[in-house]
Structure formats: structure tokens, C-alpha cells
Amino acid sequence: MSSMPKDPVILLSFVNTQLRDNYNSLTELCKAYMVSEDYINTKLNMINYSYNKDRNQFV
């Protein structure tokens, strides 16, 4: 978890870039970074973003 940004806005950019470039799903990204999906969802829900599985990004 330490390699992920803590600020929600920066985390949003980081996660969406990783999903676009390197991972086919949020589950894959979370396994690679050893972080729970709940952690990312909670942080990004704070700024009104949620994961869209069809688009594979937070919107």
C-alpha cells in the first residue's frame, strides 16, 4: 500500500492510469499492489468516484 498515493485525487489518476495501461480489472491491480479493493473504493468514493467494471476505470 505504501507505493500508492494517499491523496484521493492523485490516487484516482494513478489507479486509472494503471488500469488503462497494465491491468484488466481492479482485482488484478489490487493483487499486484497488495491492497484491498475496499481501500481503493473507500478512498475514491470520498471524491465521488466509483469503479465501472465495463470501462475498467473509476468514473
- Domain extents for the chain? 8-51
- At which residue does the C-alpha cell 490516487 appear? 11
Q: Which three cell numbers stand for residue 42?
A: 473507500
Residue 22 and residue 17: Cα distance in Å, rounded? 8
Q: Which helix (H) or strand (E) holds 33?
A: helix 26-33
- The confidence score (pLDDT) of residue 2 equals 57
- The confidence score (pLDDT) of residue 3 equals 86
β-bridge partners, 58: 51
- The confidence score (pLDDT) of residue 49 equals 98
Report pTM. 0.93
β-bridge partners, 57: 52
Consecutive 10-residue runs of the chain (59 residues): their mean pLDDT? 86 98 98 96 98 98
Query: Distance from CA of residue 51 to its chain's centroid?
Result: 8
